[in-house]
Structure 1
Amino acid sequence: MSEQIRFDNRVVIVTGAGAGLGRSHALEFARRGAKVVVNDLGGSGHGEGNCVKAAEQVVDEIIALGGIAVANCDSVEQGEAIVQTAVEHFGRVDVVINNAGILRDTSFQKMTDQDWELIHRVHTFGSYKVTHAAWPYMREQGYGRIINTASGAGIYGNFGQANYSSAKLGLYGFTRTLAIEGAPKNIKVNCIAPVAASRLTEAILPAEVIAGLKPELVTPLVVKLASEQQAETGELFEVGAGWIAKLRWERSRGVKFDPQAPLGAEAVVAAWADIIDFTDSEYPQTIQDTLLPVFNNLGIEPSL
């Protein structure tokens, strides 16, 4: 058995921690010694209203367990206020779990600007605001752990969730870039795509499925990714019901056409079977992996 993961003297912010996944994360970090900022606006699953009780109830649970926590009821769009709560009460911020989320499901034909904007304001803009406010503290102390919450809908798409899917996959691109920029300062940034019972999923999944999708089966991965020992960064993991897996991009070898000769759509059609053939595929990891075959086809030796 490996040594227990501890967060003594670490300060952890969990957004959307009033229920479901966020509550599970907050309780577990507190059990492991962290000082926790329990953030939750207390609004509905569709983004309406607010209520301070959600965050305060989780703080009460943590204190009853002998832990240390403080409630924050600001919207993630006011990320500075959430981070300021951590700094004012505990003097630093070490871990950010961007978990807050809402749903505004509707077919694309019926989607309104508000349906689109509310989702992106909470998921992408909210994650940006909280992380951007915490970033200077992490850089200065030479340490930070950030976990962003994506979704299978973002990876694969899902009917009625064009807004949610685009926001969630956007968080993976956000993760990849912050992992690159944070590396020199020991800031590790990873992304999870969880399947768990929550107020967002209980309305769309059967009761017998919900019963098995315990948030507590997702939290251990989050704890691992937030630990001091975490080495990987910029990665994406699917998790749910006790199953954890890492995803990566796969790319066919493709077809190289002469860049000096005219290229018509008919030539693309003729080569299509080879273009989409995943035999002997590649697994690109960086933007350089996109540029290399392009440069090579031009006969240029890249200096990347």
Structure 2
Amino acid sequence: MEKENINQRNFQQQLKSYKQDPVSLVLFLLVYGAAVLTFVAIIFIVGYILIKGIPNLSSKLFEFKYTSENVSLLPALVNTVFITVLSLVLAVPIGIGASIYLTEYAKRENPFVSVIRIATETLSGIPSIIYGLFGALFFVKYAHFGLSLLSGSVTLSIMILPLIMRTTEEALLSVPDSYREGSFALGAGKLRTIFHIVLPSAMPGIFSGVILAIGRIVGESAALIFTAGTVAEVAKSVFRSSRTLAVHMYAISGEGLYINQTYATAVVLLVLVIIINLLSETIARKLGSETGNE
């Protein structure tokens, strides 16, 4: 209660100070208006999906076999887990390793570092369908992976690599230099300092980047249509075609016969994303508290 009163007093003091400057008041109102609009939009979207989808949830949607009479989402859910794990296995070591090199080993005035950062920013702004076309030409056709789980995973790993690199680099740069200097003063080498001092301190930020990458993988459809295909069954190997939940939802909605099942699939996808975000927040807080106690 006292905390709420303090926040309310601070808000009133800020508003009073903003009233003295018209420009600041306008910017203040725009920021709060944008925040309220965002909140209302999120509530409307989530509420609409839940209202439309929850009544259409049934046990048939979670059967292991997909048929024309029962458009089960369970095979797509299993494929989503497979493709997420494989994409992270490919992207996370490369992204974290590249970020360690850029922050801990490369000289800051090195032009090669600037080129890598520009390339990373460029890759992060490319639409996902472009990644899909590249994956279809390179991995599916020229690498002879075909429409498969492997083609989709490699394409997604390239897509999330800039995100992992940026968040990991920011997390490493946020670690104070005094930590490194203290470790060196105690006789630890460069590699030991990185793995025992720097990385544990930056782990909450690195983990947040990985979770954001998972969210992008789970919600991706455009790139996977061209690389992983749309076969509605659990992939028996990495060289078999499959579909994820997002692709499954796109496919059955395009047919026009399973609109109710599409809303039910959207509910499952929404719940999956919420669970991932809640788990990430919990683990990040736990890692942060453990690092602070150390």
Which structure: greater helix fraction?
A: 2
- Per the TM superposition, whether the score is higher than 0.5 is no
**Structure with larger RCO (C-alpha < 8 A, sep 6+):** 2
> Which has the greater radius of gyration?
2
Q: TM-score, normalised by structure 1?
A: 0.25
Which structure: greater strand fraction?
A: 1
